[in-house]
Amino acid sequence: METSSKRKSSYREKRKKVRQAACSCCKTQSSFNWQCRCGFAICQNCMDENFWGMSCNGITWVCPDCGDSNGFGNQ
């Protein structure tokens, strides 16, 4: 519900705009995680490693926790 008129690459941002969840697989906090609405999060590394098991079409990935489908590129 906020207007995103700021530049994308503003380097110094004091506020956390997104809740950072640790990767549910390797427990590492990375700059980017794929997240399911159930709270499951997976980092890009783990996604790459588990891609064969989590995505059957390259368009969606299935959350191993709740079995829900999540789309790629839906940021």
Please give the residue ranges that form the binding site for Zn ion (CB under 5 A). Answer: 23, 25-26, 36, 38, 40, 43, 46, 63, 65-66, 68
Torsion of CA 38, 44, 46, 49, to 10 degrees: 130
- From the DSSP assignment, how many helices (H) and strands (E) are in the chain? 1, 4
Compute the least distance from the CB of residue 12 to Zn ion, in Å: 27
CB 42 within 8 A of CB 21: no
Nearest to Zn ion of 26, 56 (CB atom): 26
Considering the complex, what minimum distance in angstroms separates the CB of residue 20 from Zn ion? 13
Q: Which is nearer to Zn ion, 6 or 53 (CB)?
A: 53
